Amino acid sequence: MNQIDLKGRHAVITGGAQGIGLSVAIRLLASEASVTLWDRDKGALDSALESIPEKGRVSIRVVDVSDPKSVEEAALSTIEESGRIDLLVTSAGIAGPNLKTWEYPIDAWKQIIDINLTGVYLCCRAIVPCMLRHNYGRIVNVASIAGKEGNANAPAYSASKAGVIALTKSLGKETADKNIAVNCITPAAARTRLFDQMSQEHIDFMLSRIPRGRFLEVGELSSMVAWLLSEENSFTTAAVFDLSGGRATY
């Protein structure tokens, strides 16, 4: 593992209690950052905290990223505790059911958009002002290859992740002169608990689209995120980084 220097930096990771978020947290801790895990599942947060050796550099917050008040209160309390927020990784997300667009439940559509897209906006809205005050910040939004290509039978998920890509580009341009880098990643599927929300047919479909013939490992994703959050990423912003195993065509 290459050593990325994040010493003295404090990170907020949404969806940090499990899967991609927890993997990123462990990678950042290895790079000597401190982290605050945001997640709506208190039990999962407690379990995550128990599993992390570097407990002295980890704190937790129960946060619903789709709720503006919850996000704002979490941002204020995190800044009060840690002094600043230098790094943000927005990995909270849900997959939703696998159905045709014309059969898709309206409530499910709204929930996915609220968490996957509006949640990213709310977190950036709450935390970017802190980065502006310090003239430094690094943000990585977790989108998906589905946001580029649009997966059949996953219209809400695909649309939400396409929105994350566009939001990343807008915010990256707005903060480009402030030493704040805002980028997103578009991974192919990684085997996490998100798979529990998907049909086996959809899982098989996703695997069939990956030329490497396997799913992404969360550790591979975390390595890219760690570099994107570092000072070495001093020029690139408003960009999209693929982790698709050869699937991406643009």
Whose tokens are 């059949």? That residue is 152
pTM of the model: 0.93
Question: Region 50-70: what's the mean pLDDT?
Answer: 93
**Active-site position among 104, 121, 136, 157:** 157
The model's confidence at residue 217, banded by pLDDT at 50, 70 and 90, is confident
Cβ pair 30, 11 in contact under 8 A: no
Tell me if residue 7 falls in helix, strand or coil.
Answer: coil
pLDDT for position 212: 84
Dist. CA 230–CA 4, nearest whole Å:
7
Residue spans of the domains in the chain: they are 10-242
Q: Does 121 participate in catalysis according to the annotation?
A: no
Max CA distance (Å), the chain: 49
Dist. CA 248–CA 114, nearest whole Å:
26
Q: pLDDT tens, 139-170? A: 999 999 999 999 999 999 999 999 999 999 99
Q: Is 183 left (phi over 0), alpha (psi -120 to 50) or beta?
A: beta
Tell me if residue 102 falls in helix, strand or coil.
Answer: helix
pLDDT for position 198: 73
pLDDT at 3 over 90: no
What CATH architecture does domain 10-242 belong to? 3-Layer(aba) Sandwich (3.40)
Q: pLDDT tens, 22-40? A: 999 999 999 999 999 999 9
pLDDT for position 203: 83
H/E stretch holding 89: strand 87-90
If 0-12 CB within 10 Å is exposed, 13-18 middle and 19+ buried, where does residue 169 land? middle
Each as own residue / partner, the long-range contacts of residues 217-220 (CB below 8 Å, 24 or more positions apart, any chain) are 217/190, 218/19, 218/20, 218/23, 218/190, 218/192, 219/23, 219/27
Q: pLDDT tens, 76-125? A: 999 999 999 999 999 999 999 999 999 999 999 999 999 999 999 999 99
Q: Is pLDDT larger for residue 205 or for residue 237?
A: 237
pLDDT at 48 over 80: yes
Q: pLDDT tens, 177-216? A: 999 999 999 998 777 766 676 778 878 887 888 888 888 8
Q: What is the mean pLDDT of the chain?
A: 93
For 165, the token pair is 């890509």
Dist. CA 169–CA 107, nearest whole Å:
28
Cβ pair 126, 75 in contact under 8 A: yes
